[in-house]
Amino acid sequence: MDSTVTLEQIVAWAKRRGFIFQTSTIYGGLANNYDYGPYGATLKNNIRNHWWNTFVEKRNDVVGLDGAIITHPTVWEASGHTSSFSDPLVEDTVNHKRYRADHVIEAWANKKGEEVNTEAMDLNAMSKFISDNKILSEDGNALSDAREFNLLFETHIGAVEAEKDTAYLRGETAQSIFVNYKNILDTMRVRIPFGIAQIGKAFRNEITKGQFIFRTIEFEQMEIEYFIHPEADWDSIMQQWLEDMKQFYLDLGADSDNVRFREHDKEELSHYSKRTYDPEFKFDFGWKEIAGLAYRTDFDLSQHAKFSSKKLEYRDPQTNEVYVPHVVEPSFGLTRAVLVALYSAYKEEDLGDGKSRVVMKFPAHIAPVKAAIFPLQKDDKLVAKAEELFNELNSEFQCEFDNAGNIGKMYRRQDEIGTPFCITVDYDTLEKGTVTIRDRDTMEQETISIDEVKAYILEKI
């Protein structure tokens, strides 16, 4: 019964088990935004920490940054986002509901079993395709011609109406890295090639629906701008990053066969990119982008130098050569990485005798709870001993104490949230100092000395 998981199953499970809820549910929810519950927040933190550890702490050529969400508005003019950061939009001509033109075309083609490449279509081609094929809105009305819709979220700075100044919530974390390039060069002992990494929120006014945390209006990115010499072998540098990016998703539990790379064709390249690869994951709704790797050349530093009139160059300390560095950018979506971890972990298993279980087989290092501790019965002595063990272990790693009494049910609950180890305190614990430790994946139980439990789990996580 080990089936292919569907988005529907993930959404229902995530809500039932306190991982992910739609934002503002008591007010009927807000489309395309989600809140992370207790386990979801911990899972997301564990993935974030693994990324930071892998790409910042363990490398000596990458430093970290935590930039502001609201920046000087000129940042987005210089970067090209105010003019070129848009999606093609069509509108229902009767009720004015808005849709992504490319999504409308793809949904129509899917239904017909036809292949269309919307990436290669401009606005005119999309409008023509929609009218030629008489594609209607979900409510059966005619659709308008396609037009560009800017994705940046506007906000206003200043308390008094007259002093209002338009600013933007950042559309990507990358720009605060570029505008801090000089600060980092002046204060840190960095030498080209080096990277600046950042994890943080980004915002896009996406017209979309029903994609859960895959596409939201508020999300988190984990990005590195890797500065290189303009004549460096950028192709080899990109190939190395592709390997490192893939390894990151394997570390989250993804099966190697479910991760691939797709190179953008010319029409699809962003305004700043000379070459882009998208790492993609095989979801039940298709192969979809989970990250990007782009060769941004010197586009961003040159633009910011032009708009700010500041020199954003690099002087080689050995040769004294002065140049504007080029950039290779590995960009990961944290919230999409969470979705990859959920899809990779979710299993429904047949246990025989008409019994089954849902089990989240998270790699132990990202599992929100590492161990659950149960007393075999509600006997004061067993409860006290189990609490003692819980307090000892919980000071080292995230644990749960459960005293509900039905061991089978307690196992099922921990399986569903992906806890790798369950430890039962029984009468042998009181008499012989041993506990039973059960492995989530094999369901096998081992009896070990209570003194060895901490080391046993620490070794595995």
How far is residue 191's CA from residue 187's CA, in Å, rounded to a whole number? Answer: 12
Q: Tell the smallest beta-carbon distance from residue 331 to ligand GAP (Å).
A: 4
Encoded tokens for 291: 């990250």
- Return the number of the residue (288 or 347) whose C-beta is nearest ligand GAP: 288
- Give the x-and-dash track for 123-162 against ligand GAP (CB under 6 A): ----------------------------------------
How far apart are the C-alpha atoms of 137 and 97, rounded to whole Å? 8
- Which of the ranges 38-46, 212-220, 342-350, 385-393 carries the binding residues for ligand GAP, by CB under 6 A? 212-220
Q: Which is nearer to ligand GAP, 194 or 219 (CB)?
A: 219
CA 401, 404, 406, 411 dihedral sign is negative
292 binds ligand GAP (CB under 6 A): yes
User: Of the candidates 253, 330, 333, 368, which one interacts with ligand GAP according to CB under 6 A?
Assistant: 333
Question: What is the contact mask toward ligand GAP in residues 223 to 252, using x (rule: CB under 6 A)?
Answer: x-----------------------------
Number of residues in contact with ligand GAP under rule CB under 6 A: 18
Contacting residue, 198, 335, 344, 424, with ligand GAP by CB under 6 A: 335
User: According to the binding rule CB under 6 A, does residue 290 interact with ligand GAP?
Assistant: yes
Closest distance to ligand GAP from the beta carbon of 215 (Å): 4
Residue nearest to ligand GAP (CB): 333
Binding of ligand GAP by 172 (CB under 6 A) = yes
Burial class (CB in 10 A: 0-12, 13-18, 19+), 62: buried
Q: State which residue, 259 or 369, has the beta carbon closest to ligand GAP.
A: 259
Residue 43 CA to residue 369 CA, distance in Å, equals 9
Binds ligand GAP (CB under 6 A): choice among 81, 215, 326, 440: 215
Q: How far is the CB of 100 from ligand GAP (least distance, A)?
A: 12
Rounded to 10 deg, the angle between the 334-345 and 38-52 helix axes is 110
C-alpha distances out from residue 161 to 167, 253, 391, Å: 14, 51, 54
Measured CA to CA, the distance from residue 366 to residue 248 in angstroms comes to 12
Please report how close the Cβ of residue 320 comes to ligand GAP at its closest, in angstroms. Answer: 32
Our finding on whether 304 is near ligand GAP (CB under 6 A) is no
Nearer to ligand GAP, 91 or 329 (CB): 329
Of the candidate spans 126-134, 176-184, 211-219, 437-445, the one that interacts with ligand GAP by CB under 6 A turns out to be 211-219
Pick from 304, 336, 370, 385 the residue near ligand GAP by CB under 6 A.
Answer: 336
174 binds ligand GAP (CB under 6 A): yes
Task: State the nearest-atom distance from the C-beta of 289 to ligand GAP, in Å.
Answer: 5
Sequence length of the chain is 461
Taking a C-beta distance cutoff of 8 angstroms, is the pair 312, 184 a contact? no
User: At 70, phi and psi to the nearest 5?
Assistant: -100, 120
Does 289 bind ligand GAP (CB under 6 A)? Our answer is yes
As measured in angstroms, the least distance from the Cβ of 419 to ligand GAP is: 27
Q: 381-391: b or e for each residue (b if 16 or more CB lie within 10 Å)?
A: ebbebbeebbe
Is 204 an interacting residue with respect to ligand GAP (CB under 6 A)? yes
Give me the least distance between CB of 327 and ligand GAP, in Å please.
Answer: 10
Report yes or no: 269 and 258 within 8 Å, Cβ to Cβ.
no
Nearer to ligand GAP, 336 or 385 (CB): 336
CA distance 296 to 272: 5
- In angstroms, the CA 321 to CA 34 distance is 49
| Residue 331 makes contact with ligand GAP by CB under 6 A | yes
Is the peptide bond prior to 193 cis by the omega test (within 30 degrees of 0)? yes
Do 149 and 86 touch, CB atoms closer than 8 A? Answer: yes
Among 196, 224, 291, 366, binds ligand GAP (CB under 6 A): 291
Q: Give the residue with the Cβ less far from ligand GAP, 212 or 411.
A: 212
Cα separation, 431 vs 449, in Å, equals 12
Q: What's the first-to-final CA gap in the chain, in angstroms?
A: 28
Site of tokens 């190697």: 256
Binding ligand GAP (rule: CB under 6 A), the pick from 46, 216, 303, 434 is 216
- CB-based burial of residue 132 (10 Å sphere; 0-12 exposed, 13-18 middle, 19+ buried)? exposed
Cα–Cα dist 459/165, whole Å: 54
Q: Rank residues 13 and 34 by Cβ distance to ligand GAP and give the closer one.
A: 34
Taking the complex as a whole, the smallest distance from the CB of residue 412 to ligand GAP amounts, in Å, to 32
Residues that bind ligand GAP (CB under 6 A): 172, 174, 204, 206, 215-216, 219, 221, 223, 289-292, 329, 331, 333, 335-336
